[in-house]
Amino acid sequence: MHLDVVIIQLRNQTVPVFNRRIHGAAEFAQITQSGKTQLPIPAAFVIPLIDIAQDNPNAIGYQQDVTEQFAVILALDNQSDRTGLIASNEVHLKRAAIFQAILNWSPAPDEYEPIQYAGGQFLDMNPAIFYWRLTFQSATRLMESDGFQTNYSDLRDVKVGIDMAEPSLPGGGPDDQIDAYADVNNLNE
């Protein structure tokens, strides 16, 4: 899934709550490496999590269901109450805005099922910022056309032997004698 589309959707749909402060994994990595942010908060960060693939149920062909998970990490102001109680109460308001923006919405309706909520959890807090992770998921299906395609360009000639049904035989079946041949040449020309 292209998470940039999710980021754009969240930026456009949560302006009153986040004032377009929806960022990606690179900005979140800067925070986690430095321990602080220069970005205004509240903010949210959209990061990829995991793909969960089911087995291919087909003996012939290829079809595999995949559930892709991503997180929206909320970064909330924790300076006024370093216990995190005010920020944890704020989670519910911010989560509701995120839900209204992407829950049951599909970033690519021809490829992905609508986004579902998979759960949330406390991540971390420091005297300045309280972090809460919302996990979302969407299912897609990989088909044979998504994988390696055999190149049949070397196939040039086809020869077929035809055993016709014999009405005089019991059951009217073939007699295991080749009655006709078909020869197709120069397929790639």
Q: Give the model confidence (pLDDT) of 88-135 as tens digits.
A: 788 999 999 999 999 999 999 999 999 999 999 999 888 888 899 999
Picking from 20, 19, 25, the residue whose alpha carbon sits closest to that of residue 3 is: 25
Judging by beta carbons within 10 Å of its beta carbon (0-12, 13-18, 19+), is residue 70 exposed, middle or buried?
Answer: buried
Show the beta-strand stretches assigned E in 78-174.
116-125, 129-143, 158-162
What distance in Å separates the CA atoms of residue 174 and residue 167, rounded to the nearest whole number? 9
What distance in Å separates the CA atoms of residue 163 and residue 166, rounded to the nearest whole number? 9
**Which pLDDT score is estimated for 126?**
84
Say yes or no to pLDDT of 13 above 90.
Answer: yes
Q: pTM of this prediction?
A: 0.74
In the chain, where are the structural domains located? 3-146, 156-189
14 pairs with which residues across the strands? none
Neighbours of 85 (CB within 10 A): 11
**Which pLDDT score is estimated for 155?**
64
> Cα 117 to chain center, whole Å?
14
- 3-146: CATH topology: STM4215-like (3.30.2000)
pLDDT band for 188, please (50, 70, 90 cuts): low
Q: Give the model confidence (pLDDT) of 53-64 as tens digits.
A: 988 877 777 888
